[in-house]
Structure 1
């Protein structure tokens, strides 16, 4: 496998799995406890302060949906990722807002319409937050080893856990169903 293919694989799958954004065009029907596509995590009538965990999670979700404008406002320069990457890496090479945005952007190249919905409301306890999500997107091609035709719609799930320090996300743990995604891409 070439270095380019290894790097693309390292960046592609975990970012796709890590994505959390709420979408107005999501195909998944939210459960009664899930946040709907038309509403953010915070209530419109009770807006949370900009540095509250709920407001930060709103921005986090928009970030994974491709709105990078608030990345530096919610991601610490010390931001680190903990994830089992397909190339055997542990995610530690993805650092800060720029590294995270590059990871997300590369994923979106293979799944340009990637959209996410929350399966349940986020859990927030002290300086940690966790969200469970479902992602749906159309494969555009270019995934190493994938035999699925471009245009194949994929759906997969995962859970993100984030640590907050000084009003920014500083650490990120990803647990995603890589097998579900790879099976749909016929990459096994």
Structure 2
């Protein structure tokens, strides 16, 4: 019985460490370290997006396509920096990691949004859930909304 308990504790700890590490890499990738996509995205990846203006979820099936997606999003702004504000929270049973994040950026006049004035700063908040298997992200759910009034500044 003790061996099972010890093994279970090790598996739980490894899953938590993996989930947190994947979250850190996911955020680092979104902050511009694009080659990380090849280390963290599984073939057959699937994205559930609340905003499909920057990508068709059906095309985001591997690291190459995820990297292109990140490039498309980042290229629309003069500056874009993501930071974690709550989490990462790892569900070891579901092998998921969840975080509340905030991105601060500067418009470049390339989004087509009404408030996109070159040089104007903006903030977006969101929540991502990443499912992982064998040390790679297999699926993500993401939602984000712009913040008109920033309660965390």
TM-score range relative to shorter protein:
0.7 to 0.9
Where relative contact order (Cα < 8 A, 6+ residues apart) is larger, the structure is 1
Matched, 1:72 2:29: no
Runs of 4+ aligned residues of structure 1 deviating over 6 Å after TM superposition are none
Q: By percentage of residues, which structure has more strand?
A: 2
Alignment of 1:31-110 (within 5 A): 52-87=18-53, 91-110=57-76
Q: How far apart are residue 144 of structure 1 and its match? A: 2.5
TM-score normalised by L of structure 1: 0.63
In 2, the alpha carbon distance for the partners of 1:55 and 1:165 equals 13
Which structure 2 segments of 5+ residues have no match?
1-13
Which structure 1 segments of 5+ residues have no match?
1-47
In 2, the alpha carbon distance for the partners of 1:85 and 1:121 equals 22
Aligned to 1:136: 104
Aligned partners of 1:84 and 1:90 also within 8 Å: no
In 2, the alpha carbon distance for the partners of 1:69 and 1:86 equals 23
After superposition, the Cα gap between the structure-2 partners of 1:112 and 1:95, relative to the gap in structure 1 and judged at 3 Å, is: farther
Q: How far apart are residue 69 of structure 1 and its match? A: 2.3
Correspondence for 2:121 among 108, 131, 153:
153
Aligned to 2:5: none
In 2, the alpha carbon distance for the partners of 1:150 and 1:170 equals 36
Correspondence for 2:81 among 101, 112, 115:
115
In 2, the alpha carbon distance for the partners of 1:119 and 1:147 equals 25
Q: How far apart are residue 112 of structure 1 and its match? A: 3.5
1:45-98 Cα offsets, whole Å, 9 max, x none, are xxx89x8222222211110100012211110011111013355x8622222111
Q: By percentage of residues, which structure has more helix?
A: 2
Aligned partners of 1:120 and 1:132 also within 8 Å: yes
Matched, 1:167 2:145: no
- Structure 1 SS opposite 2:57: coil
In 1, the alpha carbon distance for the partners of 2:28 and 2:78 equals 15
Bigger radius of gyration? 2
In 1, the alpha carbon distance for the partners of 2:60 and 2:86 equals 27
- Structure 2 SS opposite 1:95: coil
**For the aligned residues, what is the CA RMSD?**
2.4
In 1, the alpha carbon distance for the partners of 2:102 and 2:138 equals 23
